[in-house]
Structure 1
Amino acid sequence: MHAPLASPPAEAGNAGFGWLAIARIGLVQASIGALVMLATTVLNRVMVVELGLLAAIPAGLVAWHYAVQLGRPLWGHASDKGNNRTKWIIGGVAVLAAGALLATQATVLIATSFVPGFALAVLAYTLIGAGVGAGGTSALALLASGVAPQRRAAAAAVTWIMMVAGIVSSAFAVSPLIEPFTYERLVVVAGGLALVMVTLTVLATFRLERQAGRFGNAAKDLATPDFRAALSEIWHEPAARRFTIFIFVSMIAFSMQDLILEPFAGLIFGMSPGESTKLGGQHQGGILLGMIITGIGGSAFSGKRPDGLRIWVVGGCVASAIALGALGVAAINGPPWPLGINVFILGLGNGVFAVAAIGAMMGLAGAGENTREGVRMGVWGASQAIAFGLGGLTGAVGVDLARSTLVDDGAAFQLVFSIEAAAFLLAAVLAVKATGAAAMRAGVQEVKREVFA
Structure 2
Amino acid sequence: MTETIHKPLDWFGIARLGLVQSALGAVVALTTSTLNRVMVVEMATPAMLPAALVGLHFAVQITRPHWGYGSDLGSRRTPWIIGGMACLCLGALGATDAALMMATTPSLGIFISVLAYLMIGMGVGASGTSLLALLATRVAPDRRPAAASITWIMMILGIVISSIVVGKLIDPFSSQALAFAATWVAGCAFLITLAAVHGVELPVGAKLLADEPSTNEGPSVPFRQAVREIWAEPLARNFSIFVFVSMLAYSAQDLILEPFAGLVFHMTPSQSTQMSGIQNMAVLLGMILTGAIGGRAARSGKSWMAAWAIFGCLGSALALLGLAAAAEVGPGWPLMPTVFALGFANGVFAVSAIGSMMGLAGHGQKSRVGIRMGIWGAAQAIAFGVGGFFGAVGIDGLRAVLPETGHAFLVVFLIEGALFLVSAYLASRLGSSERPVNVNADEGESASSPLMGHASTLT
* TM-score (norm. length: structure 2): 0.92
- Whether 1:79 and 2:80 are equivalent positions in the alignment is no
1:200 to 184, 189, 192: 192
Q: Which residue of 1 aligns with 2:418?
A: 422
> How big is each residue's C-alpha offset from its partner over 1:95-120, in whole Å with a ceiling of 9 and x where there is no partner?
10000000000001111111111010
- Whether 1:132 and 2:128 are equivalent positions in the alignment is no
The alpha-carbon deviation at position 359 of structure 1 amounts to 1.0
Partner letter of residue 225 of structure 2?
Answer: A
The alpha-carbon deviation at position 303 of structure 1 amounts to 3.6
The alpha-carbon deviation at position 223 of structure 1 amounts to 3.5
Give the 3 Å change call, closer, same or farther, for CA 397–217 of structure 1 in structure 2: farther
Alignment root-mean-square deviation, CA:
2.0
Partner letter of residue 119 of structure 1?
Answer: F
1:226 to 222, 230, 235: 222
Q: Is the 8 A contact 2:72 2:367 kept in 1?
A: no
Question: Aligned partners of 1:243 and 1:435: how far apart in 2?
Answer: 11
1:34 to 17, 26, 50: 26
Partner letter of residue 227 of structure 1?
Answer: F
Aligned to 1:372, the other structure's residue is in SS state helix
> How big is each residue's C-alpha offset from its partner over 1:188-241, in whole Å with a ceiling of 9 and x where there is no partner?
111111111100000000011138837369965544432112101111100111
The alpha-carbon deviation at position 367 of structure 1 amounts to 3.3
The alpha-carbon deviation at position 432 of structure 1 amounts to 1.2
1:311 to 284, 307, 310: 307
1:56 to 37, 48, 56: 48
Q: Which residue of 2 aligns with 1:327?
A: 323
Aligned to 1:269, the other structure's residue is in SS state coil
The runs of 5 or more residues in structure 1 that have no matched partner are 9-13, 449-453
Q: Is the 8 A contact 1:360 1:435 kept in 2?
A: no
2:392 to 370, 385, 396: 396
> How big is each residue's C-alpha offset from its partner over 1:159-193, in whole Å with a ceiling of 9 and x where there is no partner?
11111001001110110111110011111111111
Q: Is the 8 A contact 2:363 2:447 kept in 1?
A: yes
Equivalent residues, number: 439
Aligned to 1:445, the other structure's residue is in SS state coil
Question: Aligned partners of 2:155 and 2:437: how far apart in 1?
Answer: 28
> How big is each residue's C-alpha offset from its partner over 1:313-346, in whole Å with a ceiling of 9 and x where there is no partner?
0000000000000000001111132111110110
Partner letter of residue 169 of structure 1?
Answer: I
- Whether 1:90 and 2:86 are equivalent positions in the alignment is no
Q: Is the 8 A contact 2:137 2:366 kept in 1?
A: no
> How big is each residue's C-alpha offset from its partner over 1:227-256, in whole Å with a ceiling of 9 and x where there is no partner?
112101111100111001111111100000
The alpha-carbon deviation at position 441 of structure 1 amounts to 5.3
Aligned to 1:210, the other structure's residue is in SS state coil
- Whether 1:253 and 2:249 are equivalent positions in the alignment is yes
Q: Which residue of 1 aligns with 2:343?
A: 347
Question: Aligned partners of 2:39 and 2:413: how far apart in 1?
Answer: 21
Give the 3 Å change call, closer, same or farther, for CA 341–146 of structure 1 in structure 2: same
Q: Is the 8 A contact 1:367 1:442 kept in 2?
A: no
Higher helix content, 1 or 2: 1
Give the 3 Å change call, closer, same or farther, for CA 148–447 of structure 1 in structure 2: farther
Give the 3 Å change call, closer, same or farther, for CA 144–69 of structure 1 in structure 2: same
Give the 3 Å change call, closer, same or farther, for CA 131–438 of structure 1 in structure 2: farther
The runs of 5 or more residues in structure 2 that have no matched partner are 440-444, 450-459
Deviates more, 1:336-345 or 1:267-276: 336-345
> How big is each residue's C-alpha offset from its partner over 1:370-420, in whole Å with a ceiling of 9 and x where there is no partner?
752100000000010000000001110111111111121111101000000
Q: Which residue of 2 aligns with 1:451?
A: none
Aligned to 1:209, the other structure's residue is in SS state coil
Partner letter of residue 407 of structure 1?
Answer: P
Q: Is the 8 A contact 2:53 2:114 kept in 1?
A: yes
Matches within 5 A, 1:166-177: 166-177=158-169
Give the 3 Å change call, closer, same or farther, for CA 121–435 of structure 1 in structure 2: farther
Partner letter of residue 169 of structure 2?
Answer: L
> Identity rate of aligned residues, in percent?
49
The alpha-carbon deviation at position 442 of structure 1 amounts to 4.5
Deviates more, 1:130-139 or 1:365-374: 365-374
Deviates more, 1:219-228 or 1:98-107: 219-228
Q: Which residue of 2 aligns with 1:11?
A: none
